[in-house]
Amino acid sequence: EDQVTQSPEALRLQEGESSSLNCSYTVSGLRGLFWYRQDPGKGPEFLFTLYSAGEEKEKERLKATLTKKESFLHITAPKPEDSATYLCAVTGTASKLTFGTGTRLQVTL
């Protein structure tokens, strides 16, 4: 059974204080690892797809990386508007998306 574990559960940063979120996974035949952002009361918003170890993707202050066992979402010089829950999910040979419980990020001034 595919599994995704995200850490930390919650993270509080000051504006400009860079950090990383972790997503550890076990999956049968990785077909894709996905990062989503979810604001309170809203649906998840797609950020990145990573397909193979060594791949990296960037968008503004966010950078996602992938190894054979985990993915990191690096946040560089975060701003308050980056506050949200960040979800990681994987899909394997079963073609089913398995989510982690997310990391709740709060960025303060």
Partner 1 sequence: ETGVTQTPRHLVMGMTNKKSLKCEQHLGHNAMYWYKQSAKKPLELMFVYNFKEQTENNSVPSRFSPECPNSSHLFLHLHTLQPEDSALYLCASSFEGDRQFFGPGTRLTVL
**Contact positions vs partner 1 (CB under 8 A):** 4, 31-32, 34, 36, 41-46, 49, 87, 89, 91, 95-102
CA–CA distance, 106 with 13 (Å, rounded to integer): 6
Nearer to partner 1, 78 or 89 (CB): 89
Smallest gap from Cβ 64 to partner 1, in A, equals 13
Tokens coding 42 = 């809203």
Q: How far is the CB of 18 from partner 1 (least distance, A)?
A: 26
Cβ distance to partner 1 smaller for residue 14 or 95: 95
User: Which residue has tokens 């400009």?
Assistant: 16
Between the alpha carbon of residue 98 and those of residues 5, 16, 38, 74, 85, the distances in Å are: 10, 32, 16, 21, 16
Q: Which is nearer to partner 1, 13 or 33 (CB)?
A: 33
